[in-house]
Amino acid sequence: MTTALITGITGQDGAYLSQLLLGKGYRVVGLLRRSASADVVGERLRWLGIIDDVELIDGNLTDLSSLIRIMETVRPDEIYNLAAQSFVAASWQQPLLTGNVTGIGAVNVLEAARIVQSKARFYQASSSEMYGLIQQPVQNENTPFYPRSPYAVAKLYAHWMTVNYRESFGMHASSGILFNHESPLRGIEFVTRKVTDGVARIKLGLAKELPLGNLDATRDWGHARDYVRAMHLMLQQDTPDDYVVATGRTTSIRDLCRIAFSYADLNYEDHVVTNPAFLRPAEVEVLLGDASKAKRVLGWEAETTLESMVAEMVDADLARHRNRATI
C-alpha cells in the first residue's frame, strides 16, 4: 500500500487530494497543527465524508523536529506539501509569519524528507502568484517570475528550493505552478467563495450588499478537484519536473459576479459595492496560464468550466445558509 503524507490536509486541496488518493487505495496521513478549536478542525474532510479514513498526526511546518518525527513514524512514499499561509491579502499584515510558514516551512519539509526519507517523492504547491506583474501575456514554465506580495515572494523561495533540492540531492521533487483553483471548500476570504456566499445570503434575504475590492483584475480559475489530479500525476512520473496547471481562460472579478448572481436570478449591479478596504498595496492584474506541458507529459486537462463550478459553489452556499436558518 502506498503511503502519502499531506501537509495542509485540513485545507481545500488537502481534502480533495485525500479523497483522490483514498480512492486509489492509498494510506493517507495528514499533518495537523494543534488548534484550541479542535471541534471545527477537519470540517472539509468531514464535508467530503472521509475524516475517518485518513490518519491525522500532530505537527507544524515551522517545527522541524515535529516533521522529522513524522517522517520517521509515517515513512511516506509520497509527500505533498500543501500547507501554507495561503491568503495573499493577509501576507502584507503578517509578512514574517508568511515567510516562516510558506517559505521556510517548505524547506523544513524538504529537509525532514532529505534526512529521513530521501527516496520519497515530493510535491511543492507553487503558485501562479509568482508571475505577479506578468512578463508575458500567457504564462508557462519558462515565463520569468515577478512576485507582487510577501506571499508570492515566500512561494518563489520555496519553489526554487524545491528545484535546488532536485538538482543538488537528486530528490524526486516536483513543483506544480497552480493557477487559482476553487470549490465549495474554498476559504471564505477568497473572492470566488466570498461572491458565491454573498449571492446565497442575498438570495435568502440575509444580506443586501456585497462589498468587494478591485473588480477589474482577472484570474484563470479552475476546480480544485481537477487540480489535485495533476499533483498526483506529477509524482507518478519517472522524472521530477515543474508544471503549470491552468485552464487557459481568464475572467474578471466583475464577470465572475455577473455569472454567480445571474445563476441565482440576481443582477450583480444591484448588490456589489466597492470598498477600498479590499484593495491591495500591490495588485496582480492578470493571470492566464498555458498548461500545454501538463497536457503533453501528464495527459492532464481541466474538466470543469467556470460556469459549472460557480453553480456548484452557489448551490453549496445556499444549502449551508438554509441549514443554518433552520437550526
Residue selected from 14, 76, 99, 240 as contacting ligand NDP according to rule CB under 6 A: 14
Report residue 235 as a C-alpha cell. 509524482
Name the binder of 88 from ligand NDP, ligand GDP, none, CB < 5-8 A by kind. ligand GDP
Contact with ligand GDP (CB under 6 A): which of 73, 115, 169, 278?
278
* Binds ligand NDP by CB under 6 A, chosen from 13, 78, 220, 242: 13
Helix axes 253-263, 191-203, angle to 10 degrees: 30
Please write down the HEC assignment for all residues of the chain: CCEEEEECCCCHHHHHHHHHHHHCCCEEEEEECCCCCCCCCCHHHHHCCCHHHCEEEECCCCCHHHHHHHHHHHCCCEEEECCCCCCCCHHHHCHHHHHHHHHHHHHHHHHHHHHHCCCCEEEEEEEHHHHCCCCCCCECCCCCCCCCCHHHHHHHHHHHHHHHHHHHHCCCEEEEEECCEECCCCCCCCHHHHHHHHHHHHHCCCCCCEEECCCCCEECCEEHHHHHHHHHHHHCCCCCCEEEECCCCCEEHHHHHHHHHHHCCCCHHHCEEECHHHCCCCCCCECCECCHHHHHHHCCCCCCCHHHHHHHHHHHHHHHHHHHHHC
Site map (CB under 6 A) of ligand GDP, residues 203-222, x = contact: ---------xxx--x-x---
Residue 91 or 117 with smaller CB distance to ligand NDP: 91
Among 62, 94, 118, 164, binds ligand NDP (CB under 6 A): 62
* Interaction residues for ligand GDP, span 152-171 (CB under 6 A): none
Contact flags string 71-110 toward ligand NDP, x per CB under 6 A:
-----------xxxxx--------------x---------
Residue 14 near residue 50 (C-beta atoms within 8 A): no
> Looking at 54, 68, 82, 88, which residue binds ligand GDP (CB under 6 A)?
88
* Contact between 321 and ligand GDP per CB under 6 A: no
Closest separation in Å from C-beta 42 to ligand NDP: 8
251 scored as a contact of ligand GDP (CB under 6 A): no
Restricting to residues 153-192, name those near ligand NDP by CB under 6 A.
Answer: 178, 180-181, 187
Which residue of the chain is nearest ligand NDP when measured via CB?
A: 11
Number of residues that bind ligand GDP (CB under 6 A): 18
Report the residue from 117, 127, 175, 304 that binds ligand NDP according to the rule CB under 6 A. 127
Q: Residue numbers of the site for ligand GDP (CB under 6 A)?
A: 88-89, 129, 180, 189-191, 194, 212-214, 217, 219, 253, 278, 280, 283-284
Q: Residue numbers of the site for ligand NDP (CB under 6 A)?
A: 7-8, 10-14, 31, 33, 35, 60-62, 82-86, 101, 125, 127, 178, 180-181, 187
